[in-house]
Structure 1
Amino acid sequence: MNGTRRRGARLRLALAGAATIALLGPLAWMWQDSLMPDAYSVMDMGYADYGGALTHVGATSGHSEHSEHSEHSEHFEHSEHSGHSEHTASARSLTSLTADPDRAADVAITLVARRQRFRLPTGRSVDGYTLNGASPGPVIHATVGQLVEVRLVNESVPDGITLHWHGVDVPNAADGVAGVTQDAVGVGRSFTYRFVAGQAGTFWYHSHQVSHEQVRRGLLGALVVTPAARPPAGTADVVALLHLYDGARTINGREGDVRAEARPGERVRVRVINTENGQTPVWVGGAPFRLAAVDGTDLHEPASVRDTAVTVTAGGRADIEVTMPEDGSPVRVHIGGPAGVVLGSRSYDAPAVPRPSTTLDLLSYGTPAPLGFDPDRPDRRFDYEIGRRPGFLDGRPGVWWTINGHMFPDVPMFVVAKGDVVRMRIVNDSGEPHPMHLHGHHAVVLSRDGVRATGGPWWVDSLEVGTGESYDIAFVADNPGIWMDHCHNLPHATEGLVAHLMYEGVTTPFTVGGTGGNKPE
């Protein structure tokens, strides 16, 4: 009897052990499989997606009309991509994709990065990072066609630092992404960025090393590129960079209103830059306005509107153009709330007005204009479907973002060849909105939820894709390199919402992790 009981107990124990192994075994395998190596190349991540094109087949000669789309390609003046396959003798390192090394700089500046405690004008103390002793860093000004040279010196940022030129279609070697286009700049070291300002517009710069922390704590600034022609008389220009420091909403580093002088009848361009992780509304009290530009690209024949809000995507920019009232009344440009930029001369007593109930729809704003290419005849078609599911990310259990059903790092590498017309559908079924940012390119919005765009060309580098929404976008692959295509809600990027666009024939010598400690997000 006792023997029978012992055999029964052993059987139950064996069954329990088998059940435990059956349950924990797959979890242990998933955990092990999710661990990232100490150093890896983004070229080895996931799988190659050729967008329906035959593997390693480049663009044909039928794209001569692409030359019309010049404002988004003038930056690429020195390097040319002569081959389409990474397995041919024409394969080249992205480090060779630079501005003309023999050309002298037209605009030269040194930025010294420090970790330090600093004070906002209201006296609020912030434990963060500075550039040249302040945050935001200095506004960099250039005119179209000038070569900009920025020397970045890391005096005391312990994790290293880079600078990414957000919205500027720079040569790939100047893109400033740790582990992809360069190594992070360690303490006591420096790195020099060189690029031609090929397009007039409103842009910004920020660190792309541990960016979810370093941007939040102050490593950022504005970049403004103006047309080569002198501005007409009776115009003014105001930068309005929105950033939160430890929960304090600031414009140009100041809590509360920013005042800017504007005379009666003067036309003022307020360059709103949203450096935050979520979208923000902008509206105007005291005068009608035009939305003159989005993400550094002027809109075509934008109409004057009033009692309407404009949504500015995380990472995005909106140029608000106001003509000042002839009677000298002040005008308030609200940025996310009651505070904003107050334009005036004799008085700055502009009362706050509630956010309008109407939001400007850029799908139908402005009037049509030629794109310079045919998006209905693409060489490559890609899907970027955003979802979410439980699993392990580098050994951490959680609920993580997915791209086309795959969790990081098993994500697509979108492969193109120079000259390709690229069409991409972005679908968001993840339950949260995502501001999607493609480096090195501007894309035109073709449709939202199947409804085609009917207004002026809506060019973006940062696009808000709400939950349940889908967008069709298109661009010409005119800037060879390896480019991030990620969510600019930067904590989302750390949670796996990152893919890359790669040109055939381009390689990178840099790795994420490794001795350089590269952590782009």
Structure 2
Amino acid sequence: MTDDGAPPSPPPSPPVSSPLARRRRVVAAVVATLVVVAPVTWFWSTSLVPSTYSVLGMGYVDAGGGQVTGAHADRAEAGWGGPPARPGDVSVATLTGPADAEPDVAVTLEAAAERITLPDGTVVEGYTIGGTTPGPLIEATQGDLVEVTLRNASVPDGVTLHWHGVDVPNAEDGVAGVTQEAVPVGGEHVYRFVAQDAGTYWYHSHQVSHRQVRLGLLGPLVVHPRATAAGADEAIALLHTYAGTRTINGTAGQQRHVVAPGTAARIRVINTDNAALRVWVAGAGFALLAVDGRDLTGATPVRDVAVVIGAGGRADLEITAPADGSAAVVRLGGGADLVVGPAGSRGPSGAAARDPGTELDLLGYGTPAALGFDPQAADRTFELAIGRRFGFVAGRPGLHWTINGHLFPDLPMFVVAEGDVVRMTISNSSGQAHPMHLHGHHVVVLSRDGVAATGGPWWTDSLEVRDGEEFEVAFVADNPGVWMDHCHNLPHAQQGLVAHLAYTGVSEPFRVGGAGANRPE
């Protein structure tokens, strides 16, 4: 009752919605949903890859300002199967090493899945190659014809061998789905190539490489110069981490290379891990003789500096054992040391052996020398800008690596013609470092962050590009084929940080996926 005794008024009725108004609201909701869902669905669908495809069917062609001829001219209409071969094209499968000549070095390696005992006694599932991990050293002399027969005893995913840093003919490069079929259990594959360039290299599987390399399918390869100084002393220090334990040549703890006082030794350091390695020498100076299998001109002794070796990279250090009978200690990132000196000798420890902090800048190390070509007269110019953004890769949403703003598989196919002088700018704004590895070629560093190189020519096949850095490099396209150009932090490559370099007039018969289950990364 109200104050005047009248009954209270009923609450107002809600406005009656007309059928037209209700339809409008439904339509608006549907439209709003489509505005969100449709683009997401489109991005998701375009990120998917078929179960089998040609790498020539991936992404888009970047001709670097040059012409595109042969099969690549049909790329736009080709789809995932890749462009068909045109008359006159050469197949990757035919770009082999010498087929009939008697080899100078013949090696048979058997790959097997085995339980491996780690240095700390832990037993893990892993792989061996040639009965061990790391696999046996393969040695050749410059100009030798090398023949390696790979047999797969029990690696269920299949296996290949890639000759990291050796500029082999394309069909010998050992990349599943790009240059060959993965070798199945019970199968074998023969690699033949001429060891053209003396240097320090290594071999590893390029089938499911992010897993197979980590678990043991790798080994060292050294090509000696035709003329080696009599009595030259050297040692290999292949660094690999097994389940968190750093090892030198598969052995944990401090290792020793015995030399007499005052003797110079060439230490060939190979970084097979996924992260950069800092190497310094306590108790002696050193000269950096070579990087990635290429000698540096005018190498002079330095002291109290660290050399940074990117993933997959190599560095040859010349170290002279102290004349007083003590030892020099080569420190491989801490946790792995190589003592160089007489038996029983001791080197610096504690504070005296700490990382000096300062890095040797290869941009100005050594003395200038002729390159053999003019980088200023480039026929093609490319950009490889590494970034990271949200999107879909193979249907998976997340924060993914990009090249030139594109996500895998929509990545560039850099197209060149044989004989081209090529310049490439490689930049990184992704928040992490990326060791970029171009197969089949070495590039020379022209500048870093706009500062021109002033030292000896810095040739590399595994270039560590830190976040915020920009390198300009150049090379001559002198090795026809279809070549991977990828991050050698192998999980990054497996996540999609992979481009390719393809020559005009070269066709691709192999497929990723398919019956051979080729999975190069």
Within 5 A, what are the aligned runs for 1:133-152? 133-152=131-150
Separation in structure 2 between the aligned mates of residue 96 and residue 218 of structure 1, nearest angstrom: 30
Which one of the candidate residues 186, 189, 192 is aligned to 2:190?
Answer: 192
Which one of the candidate residues 147, 156, 159 is aligned to 1:158?
Answer: 156
Q: CA deviation at 1:427?
A: 1.1
Residue in structure 2 matched with residue 253 of structure 1 by the alignment: 250
SS in 1 for 2:375: coil
Which one of the candidate residues 265, 268, 282 is aligned to 2:265?
Answer: 268
Residue in structure 2 matched with residue 241 of structure 1 by the alignment: 238
Q: CA deviation at 1:345?
A: 1.7
2:298 is equivalent to residue 286 of structure 1: no
Residue in structure 1 matched with residue 97 of structure 2 by the alignment: 99
Counterpart of 2:311, as a letter, is A
Residue in structure 2 matched with residue 417 of structure 1 by the alignment: 417
Separation in structure 1 between the aligned mates of residue 246 and residue 326 of structure 2, nearest angstrom: 26
Counterpart of 1:517, as a letter, is A
Residue in structure 2 matched with residue 90 of structure 1 by the alignment: 88
* TM-score, structure 2 normalization: 0.92
SS in 2 for 1:222: strand
Residue in structure 1 matched with residue 16 of structure 2 by the alignment: 4
Residue in structure 2 matched with residue 55 of structure 1 by the alignment: 68
Structure 2: give runs of 5+ residues left out of the alignment.
Answer: 1-12, 71-82
SS in 1 for 2:16: helix
Q: CA deviation at 1:90?
A: 2.1
Residue in structure 1 matched with residue 297 of structure 2 by the alignment: 300
Residue in structure 2 matched with residue 75 of structure 1 by the alignment: none
Q: CA deviation at 1:386?
A: 1.0
Q: CA deviation at 1:6?
A: 7.6
Residue in structure 2 matched with residue 380 of structure 1 by the alignment: 380
Separation in structure 2 between the aligned mates of residue 179 and residue 243 of structure 1, nearest angstrom: 26
SS in 1 for 2:146: strand
Residue in structure 1 matched with residue 404 of structure 2 by the alignment: 404
SS in 2 for 1:22: helix
Q: Is the Cα–Cα contact under 8 Å of residues 86 and 506 in structure 1 kept in the other structure? A: no
* TM-score, structure 1 normalization: 0.92
Per-residue Cα deviation, 1:206-262 (whole angstroms, up to 9, x for no partner): 1111111111111111101111224322x2111101111111111111111111111
Q: Is the Cα–Cα contact under 8 Å of residues 441 and 479 in structure 2 kept in the other structure? A: yes
Q: Percent identity?
A: 59
SS in 1 for 2:262: coil
Separation in structure 1 between the aligned mates of residue 84 and residue 181 of structure 2, nearest angstrom: 22
Q: CA deviation at 1:18?
A: 2.9
Separation in structure 2 between the aligned mates of residue 273 and residue 54 of structure 1, nearest angstrom: 38
2:29 is equivalent to residue 31 of structure 1: no
Structure 1: give runs of 5+ residues left out of the alignment.
Answer: 58-84
Counterpart of 1:266, as a letter, is T
Within 5 A, what are the aligned runs for 1:332-343? 332-343=329-340
Which one of the candidate residues 107, 110, 127 is aligned to 1:109?
Answer: 107
Counterpart of 1:288, as a letter, is G
Residue in structure 1 matched with residue 201 of structure 2 by the alignment: 203
Q: CA deviation at 1:86?
A: 8.8
Residue in structure 2 matched with residue 46 of structure 1 by the alignment: 59
Q: CA deviation at 1:429?
A: 1.4
Q: Is the Cα–Cα contact under 8 Å of residues 434 and 487 in structure 2 kept in the other structure? A: yes
Q: CA deviation at 1:346?
A: 3.4
Deviates more, 1:389-398 or 1:46-55: 46-55
Per-residue Cα deviation, 1:407-449 (whole angstroms, up to 9, x for no partner): 1111111111111111111011111111000000001000001
Counterpart of 2:347, as a letter, is A
Q: Is the Cα–Cα contact under 8 Å of residues 97 and 481 in structure 1 kept in the other structure? A: yes
Q: CA deviation at 1:339?
A: 2.6
Q: Is the Cα–Cα contact under 8 Å of residues 86 and 505 in structure 1 kept in the other structure? A: no
Separation in structure 2 between the aligned mates of residue 29 and residue 153 of structure 1, nearest angstrom: 44
Deviates more, 1:21-30 or 1:505-514: 21-30
Residue in structure 2 matched with residue 220 of structure 1 by the alignment: 218
SS in 2 for 1:185: coil
Residue in structure 2 matched with residue 79 of structure 1 by the alignment: none
SS in 2 for 1:341: strand
Within 5 A, what are the aligned runs for 1:476-515? 476-515=476-515
Separation in structure 2 between the aligned mates of residue 143 and residue 159 of structure 1, nearest angstrom: 33
SS in 2 for 1:376: helix
Counterpart of 2:388, as a letter, is R
Deviates more, 1:334-343 or 1:48-57: 48-57
Residue in structure 1 matched with residue 6 of structure 2 by the alignment: none
Residue in structure 1 matched with residue 229 of structure 2 by the alignment: 231
Q: CA deviation at 1:136?
A: 0.6
Counterpart of 1:484, as a letter, is M
Deviates more, 1:172-181 or 1:100-109: 100-109
SS in 1 for 2:472: strand
Larger Rg computed on CA atoms: 2
Residue in structure 1 matched with residue 8 of structure 2 by the alignment: none
Per-residue Cα deviation, 1:427-479 (whole angstroms, up to 9, x for no partner): 11111111000000001000001110000000000001111111000011111
Separation in structure 2 between the aligned mates of residue 266 and residue 120 of structure 1, nearest angstrom: 33
Q: Is the Cα–Cα contact under 8 Å of residues 85 and 507 in structure 2 kept in the other structure? A: no
Separation in structure 1 between the aligned mates of residue 65 and residue 459 of structure 2, nearest angstrom: 24
Residue in structure 1 matched with residue 324 of structure 2 by the alignment: 327
Q: CA deviation at 1:125?
A: 2.1
Residue in structure 2 matched with residue 354 of structure 1 by the alignment: 354
Counterpart of 1:262, as a letter, is V
Counterpart of 2:363, as a letter, is L
Counterpart of 2:213, as a letter, is V
Cα distance change, pair 191–6 in 1 and its aligned pair in 2 (3 A) = farther
Deviates more, 1:118-127 or 1:326-335: 118-127
Separation in structure 2 between the aligned mates of residue 428 and residue 416 of structure 1, nearest angstrom: 23
